[in-house]
Amino acid sequence: MSDYEEIDFKIIEAVLNGNTASFEKIIERYEAMVFNLAYKHIQNFEDAKDLTQDIFVTIYNNLDKYNNDYKFFSWLYKISLNEIYSYLKKTKWKKKIISIEKVKHFLFSDKKVYEEKSDLLYEIQKIIIKEKERDREIFNMYYFDDYSVEKIAKISEESKSNVKVILHRLREKIKDKLNVEVEK
């Protein structure tokens, strides 16, 4: 267990033993990450702020269900995603899966490819949005959050090899449908 995880565990233990003020430390440690995750999905600052508060209420209310055999970050990340997806379903929000600027920056090694084909980025979005939520999230974590395959595997509870397969499959799908190369 790393020092960071050890601190998380001690804070959680304090909260569960009645020191509810210690939960503020959890918020301080993870608020920016949770907000950024919410904002990335819903693209509205005020709604992301409200949803971040709701996520921490959910985490607080379920803290006794946390299993310390697993990393707290992974548990918190999964709850955050579940709350975000619930929000999106309730509001019937149709989010953009990937932004045009990020696609330009992260996916293509040959910058001339997207300059020559103006509708290419739109076509990539159409491909990614049709994928399963889990696959889209893995794609986003890898390309936009810059998470390693190992970290994605822990968060998504997929094997490392399955994460690699999903990423490979999406790159191949983009390559086959659009005749472009996607960086690994």
pLDDT (tens digit, 9 = 90+) per residue, 89-110?
Answer: 787 654 444 454 555 555 544 4
Return the closest-CA partner of residue 58 out of 34, 29, 37: 34
Cα–Cα dist 2/17, whole Å: 22
Query: Higher model confidence: residue 61 or residue 3?
Result: 61
Domain 3-91, what architecture? Orthogonal Bundle (1.10)
- Do the Cβ atoms of 39 and 56 come closer than 8 Å? no
- Do the Cβ atoms of 7 and 14 come closer than 8 Å? no
Sequence spans of domains, the chain: 3-91, 100-178
Q: Which of 23-32, 36-45, 129-138 reaches the highest mean pLDDT?
A: 23-32
Cα–Cα dist 121/115, whole Å: 10
Average model confidence (pLDDT) across the chain: 80
Query: Higher model confidence: residue 178 or residue 169?
Result: 169
Fold of 100-178: Arc Repressor Mutant, subunit A (1.10.10)
* Global confidence as pTM: 0.58
Query: Higher model confidence: residue 43 or residue 1?
Result: 43
Q: Does 100-178 match 3-91 at the fold level?
A: no
Q: Which two tokens stand for residue 83?
A: 């709350």
pLDDT in tens, 75-94: 999 999 999 988 887 876 54
* Burial class for 60, CB neighbours closer than 10 Å (0-12, 13-18, 19+): middle
